[in-house]
Amino acid sequence: MREYLKFYIDGQWVDPIGSGTVDLVNPATEEISGKIALGSEADVDKAVKAARAAFASYSQTSREERLALLKAIKSEYEKRLPELAEAITEEMGAPASLASGFHTFLGTGHLDTAIAVLEKFVFEERQGDTLIVKEPIGVCGLITPWNWPINQVTVKVFPALAAGCTVVLKPPQLAAYSAQILAEILDAAGVPKGVFNMVQGKGSVIGSALSTHPDVDMISFTGSESVGVQISKDAADTVKRVCLELGGKSPYILLDDDGLTERVAAATSGMMVNSGQTCSAGSRLIVPQARMAEAKAAAAQAAEAVTVGNPAGNAAMGPVVSEDQFDTVQAYIKQGIDEGAELVAGGPGLPEGLDKGYYVKPTVFATTNDKVVAREEIFGPVLVMIGYNDLEDAVAIANDTDFGLAGYVDGNDQDKCHEIARKIRAGAIYVNGGFDFNAPFGGYKRSGNGREWGEHGFAEYLETKAIVG
């Protein structure tokens, strides 16, 4: 049983000012795995004061001093990788291989990227008689979701610290354990007191106290659209910078080429990774209508091949994060059936052989883009297949969505894929399986307004000053 009942404020583990704790449940077993303390507005205020006091000196540190700090963090992070992976599996149900693989690897990647960006970043440039200086924005409130918990925390904390900002992190209640270990890593690495602070608790209390706090300069938020909207409203009175990384319903266009069935299979099993709880998941698979029968057969086979079960064992897919999430995903599956979408694989209820845990069957629908299951973010292992007549139609379907976080185009002709990628209204388009830690990541439309990852993510934590004359 884990018990994390202290917050990290001003370089120390301190008792909460607010009282109360909450039990956390292991989604694989439905049993209580531990408890965390719930913070109050007073805890947030204390953390913001510490961050504000530390900003005066930390913002003046040299590039070399911050590089040395990030390298010390890297050495501590690497020591704790197995513990981080175990915590991720326990808190949100990611299979052990995924938690010790991509989940924790993303943190290493963001750390290496923050170091590489800081090494080369040009903080000052002359424009005629004007000197343009980039400076850290100040005290940052970082609010993160549970789905890729270490990724979400590290993609904010590392560039913020690299830029010279001080931070107050509010991790998600459902993935509090990995955040706690990260705070221990930063403490062991010797992050100066007050530079990094962490308060756990309810979003409506801690998140809102950060968003409204007059001494917080910026909020970087990743999570749902509705909370992003609330944060923007809360932050408006104090004119903070608000960076939002929200949800998606990303199109995955497959060209009418040889290898279509293999690509359908890869896109289907890709959708099931992390139980489909990925903001940028290619959840709308857009395939040539003339080859729909072939595509459905390949998707069904791939979905049925995904092993579902105990994430601490060898299963490819674990549970979804919570009972609430299970109920939401089940309701969408039911709605898909009720609105006439064709069930290609999976369906409602627990997978065969499982009677405990929040497990969902890898599910595939074939339908049209106007159905609710094709329009709303389900955030579970549910893929929707949609047929297109020609590439213009494929692009129109891809863009017929409120979201614009990501897109995917796979086909044999790279130039043709790029041509289509340019036409998709979304922040990141992955062509034939591309991946790059330096590529900016963020949304068009209702998927948000900020950019994370690489130099663009680093630049979000900077202000621009002109010294004229």
Q: Which residues are catalytic?
A: 245, 279
* Shortest distance, position 406 Cβ to ligand NAD, whole Å: 9
Shortest CB 83 distance to ligand NAD, Å: 21
Q: How far is the CB of 283 from ligand NAD (least distance, A)?
A: 10
> Among 27, 172, 251, 318, which residue interacts with ligand NAD (rule: CB under 6 A)?
172
| Binding-site member from 34, 138, 247, 311 for ligand NAD (CB under 6 A) | 247
User: Cβ closer to ligand NAD: 410 or 452?
Assistant: 452
Q: Which of 207, 346, 351, 362 binds ligand NAD (CB under 6 A)?
A: 207
Residues 467 and 311: their CA atoms lie apart, in Å, by: 55
Q: Which of 377, 395, 458, 462 binds ligand NAD (CB under 6 A)?
A: 377
Q: How far is the CB of 206 from ligand NAD (least distance, A)?
A: 7
Strand partners, 345: 364
**Residue 405 touches ligand NAD, criterion: CB under 6 A:** yes
Long-range contacts of the stretch 76-84 (C-beta < 8 A, 24+):
76/185, 76/186, 76/188, 76/189, 77/107, 77/108, 77/111, 77/185, 78/108, 80/181, 80/184, 80/185, 83/181, 84/150, 84/178, 84/181, 84/182
Question: Residues 424, 251: contact at Cβ < 8 Å?
Answer: yes
Selected from 150, 227, 267, 385, the binder of ligand NAD by CB under 6 A is 227
In this chain, which of 149, 203, 362, 407 binds ligand NAD, going by CB under 6 A? 203
Among 19, 60, 204, 412, binds ligand NAD (CB under 6 A): 204
Our CB check for ligand NAD shows the closer of 230 and 301 to be 230
Q: Token pair of 350, please?
A: 């627990």
Does residue 460 touch ligand NAD according to CB under 6 A?
no
208 contributes a contact to ligand NAD by CB under 6 A: yes
Among residues 146, 40, 171, which one has the least CA distance to residue 94?
146
Per CB under 6 A, which of residues 267..296 are in contact with ligand NAD?
279
**Minimum CB distance to ligand NAD, residue 314 (Å):** 26
Residue count, binding to ligand NAD (CB under 6 A):
30
* Least Å from the CB of residue 134 to ligand NAD: 24
Nearest by Cα to 363 from 340, 347, 374: 347
Residue ranges in 322-341 that form contacts with ligand NAD under rule CB under 6 A: none
How many beta carbons lie within 10 A of that of residue 300, not counting itself?
20
Cα 188 from chain centre: 25
Q: Judged by CB under 6 A, does residue 211 bind ligand NAD? A: yes
List the interface residues with ligand NAD, window 140-159 (CB under 6 A): 143-147, 152
Segment contacting ligand NAD by CB under 6 A, of 167-175, 292-300, 344-352, 413-421: 167-175
Q: Enter the tokens of residue 383.
A: 């893929």
Nearer to ligand NAD, 230 or 399 (CB): 230
**Stretch of residues binding ligand NAD (CB under 6 A), selected from 68-76, 159-167, 200-208, 307-315:** 200-208
CA-CA-CA-CA torsion for 311, 317, 319, 321, nearest 10 degrees?
Answer: 90
Whether 402 and 245 have beta carbons less than 8 Å apart is answered as: no
Q: Which of 179, 246, 344, 391 binds ligand NAD (CB under 6 A)?
A: 246
Give the nearest distance from C-beta 152 to ligand NAD in angstroms.
6
| Nearer to ligand NAD among residue 203 and residue 362 (C-beta) | 203
Q: CB of 467: closest distance to ligand NAD in angstroms? A: 35
Give the integer Cα–Cα distance in Å for 268 and 284. Answer: 10
Residue 36 lies near ligand NAD (rule: CB under 6 A): no
Residues engaged in binding ligand NAD (CB under 6 A): 143-147, 152, 170, 172-173, 203-204, 207-208, 211, 222-224, 227, 230-231, 245-248, 279, 377, 379, 405, 443, 448
